[in-house]
Amino acid sequence: MTPDANENDGDAGSGADVDPDPDPEPDQTTGRSPTPTGFRSFEAESPGPDWLEPEDEEILAVLREDHNFAPSHAAEADVCRGPVASHRCRELAKRGLLKKVATGMYDVTDLGERFLDGEVSLEELAAEADEVSE
């Protein structure tokens, strides 16, 4: 009997070493990976208004899902830390995407809903949000 140098190769094609939940692949056109909730709005060609941060779209999505929102919900959803979410909610309210309904509680406005639904481009968002903040 000859010893097999590759006796542990029996699992080689079984997929036993394959991660069942690999990281999402970057988008072929932008090279960017989707955010945890799947958004890809922040593309290199059109990064959006200078006040808009990558986590803002996810904060809006979490808020819409929970209806009324405390910034701590963003931390619970692994979007960002609570203090960052608090700051971003104030900025989004200033720009008309959120409405403050009570201390630390926000709701998505019509503009925020349209943005999440893809009905408002980043360029249109910049113009509409600037009108609100004036």
- In this prediction, residues 73-83 reach a mean pLDDT of 81
Q: Residue 70 sits in which domain range?
A: 59-134
Q: Residue 8: pLDDT above 90? A: no
Q: pLDDT for 42-72, tens place per residue?
A: 444 555 677 888 888 888 888 888 766 777 7
Give a yes or no: residue 100 inside a domain: yes
- Does 81 reside within a domain? yes
122 vs 117: which has the higher pLDDT: 117
pLDDT at 14: 45
Number of domains comprising the chain = 1
Answer yes or no: is 48 within a domain: no
Task: Provide the CATH number for the domain around residue 83.
Answer: 1.10.10.10
Model pTM above 0.95? no
DSSP 79-126: SS-HHHHHHHHHHHHHTTSEEEEETTEEEE-HHHHHHHTT-S-HHHHH
Determine, yes or no, domain membership for 79.
yes
